[in-house]
Amino acid sequence: MGTVYLVGAGPGDPGLITIKGMECLKTCDVVIYDRLVSYQLLEYVNEDCIKIFVGKEAGCHSKKQEEINQIIVQNAKQYESVVRLKGGDPFVFGRGGEEIEELLNNNIPFEVVPGVTSAISVPASVGIPVTHRGVSQSFHVITGHTKSKDDNTLTDNYEILAKMGGTLIFLMGLSNLEQIADNLIQNGKDGNTPVAVISNGTRNNEKTVRGTLHDIVSKVKWEGVVSPAIIVVGDTAALQLVQTKRKPLSDLKIGIIGTKEMREKLEKGLQPLGAEVYTVCAMHLEETSYVHQLQEEMKNIEKYQWIIFTSQNAIHIFFDKMQTFQIDRRILNKIKFAVIGSGTKQALQKYGYIADFIPDKYTTKELAREFALKVSCEDKILIPRALGGSEELTEILKENKFEYKDISVYDIKGKLTENREYLPDMDCLIFVSASGVNAFFEEMKALTIELSENIKIACIGEVTVEAVKKFNKKVDIVASVSNIDSLMEEIKIYFSNYRDEFKIGENICIE
């Protein structure tokens, strides 16, 4: 019998989940989630975590609460840690109480991890305080879609609501907006009362429409506002206490195709610039059957004068295998190291070694060309690298009569994540390897998903660029130097110029 954690995911922005909620996600065996949860949060679960979607999918009916209850119970009986991930807070119209009642009936231990409720945080994100001195001393949260058994009218007492002071906050009420406005006016609420409707709150596609009870319905229809949305009624809805200064990549959705290490670096660099970052295709490393060849070469490593590393992954695997095979690092004392760029240089330094050779231009071709010019062809070379690595390296070495051992110690494979649902709205995709390009487009083809022609493509390295072109796609952004920092700078410059050209976001401030 395991423990069930009812975790509030917050209002939408994945950064607004609590620290305790995030820790539950990182350690759980099963996560049960619905459509109001940001799929970005699923990136933090373990690779072997079971992910169960219980929300509404296109063309399908949403699961009934009774079904969800049984799914939670069944998984709690099989696994040690089960997270029931719910949008906002589990107890604010989230039916968390019903799920707990079912757990109690089955004697299943549980813990509630409260979340940031959208009722307060979403208005705050657009500068609307639900209480404000001299304006509103109270707020009231009302469900916007509760209906009676006999008809489609809302069952809330509008005679009382219309006479209440303070701020009225309706959750899940967009489809009933006209009924809500009419009922409030008919029961005495001034038709000029300010109203704000906030769609996709706290996300970078957040949209706010402001008006009054008289005109908010027509304005929302004109703007094409979609659910999920929150309706704020009261004098505070007229306030807009926000900074007008925006960041370089504000409002941009960027998808990443890469390993966890690469994804984390890109997130740390792009999120402070205002971008919302999604892992679209998660790449993972798999050792090949050729690793045993590396073990044999390590036993006789003294015969080599150089080891060439073309990736950080190769460095990590090499030193990990030295430890696994219990090979004393002191045998490397006379070995020199060549690396492809600044990232691999830093990775090598973490193991206590300084690179002896780095090409002026961070490409495999340039590495091979410069290496052949500066190193004696009598030196023997070991090259542990990825399966399907660039043939330019070995071809140039062969042309210059070098003796080398090329071992494919790992392969990179990928799978589309739940974030693929956000692809239609994305502005840019980042590819950092040819293997990532191949995995992404093959998965897209298998799932018959078409990539929008409007989405921009950013790449590191010419090999990656050529891989994209093979799928008949245009590359818009290429790193001037083949590393993450250069790529992020090029993305920043590109979208700044793009916005200037099309007069988008004229108040953007490049920092």
Map tokens 């949860």 to a residue. Answer: 37
Residue 177, exposed/middle/buried by CB under 10 A (0-12, 13-18, 19+)?
buried
Tell me if residue 56 is catalytic: yes
Question: Which is it for the CA torsion 58, 60, 65, 66, positive or negative?
Answer: negative
Catalytic residue among 34, 89, 251, 427: 34
Among 13, 86, 89, 172, the one annotated catalytic:
172
- Token pair, residue 277, equals 């970052």
Q: Which of 20, 26, 56, 350 is catalytic?
A: 56
What pairs with residue 50 in β-bridges?
A: 30
Backbone angles phi, psi at 389, to 5 degrees: -65, 165
Amino acid at 483: N
Measured CA to CA in angstroms, residue 354 lies from 210, 333, 335, 437 at distances of: 59, 12, 11, 31
Helix (H, G, I), strand (E, B) or coil at 212: strand
Evaluate the omega torsion of the peptide bond into residue 228 and state whether it is cis, within 30 degrees of 0: yes
Which residues, other chains included, contact 368 with Cβ-Cβ below 8 Å and sequence gap of 6+?
392, 393, 395, 396, 397
Do 111 and 3 touch, CB atoms closer than 8 A?
A: yes
> Would you call 31 helix, strand, or coil by DSSP?
strand
Known catalytic residue at 34? yes
**Residue type, position 279, single letter:** T
At 236, give phi and psi (nearest 5°).
Answer: -70, -20
CB-CB contact of 113 with 24 (8 Å): yes
Q: Could you tell me which of 335, 364, 372 has the C-alpha nearest to residue 351?
A: 335
Nearest to 438 by CA among 411, 418, 420: 411
Question: How many other C-beta atoms are found inside a 10 Å radius of the C-beta of residue 131?
Answer: 14
| 299 belongs to the catalytic site | no
On whether the CB atoms of residues 114 and 90 are closer than 8 A, the answer is: yes
b/e map 189-219, b = 16+ CB within 10 Å:
beeebbbbbbbbbbbbebbbbbbbbeebbee
- Which amino acids are annotated catalytic? 34, 56, 172
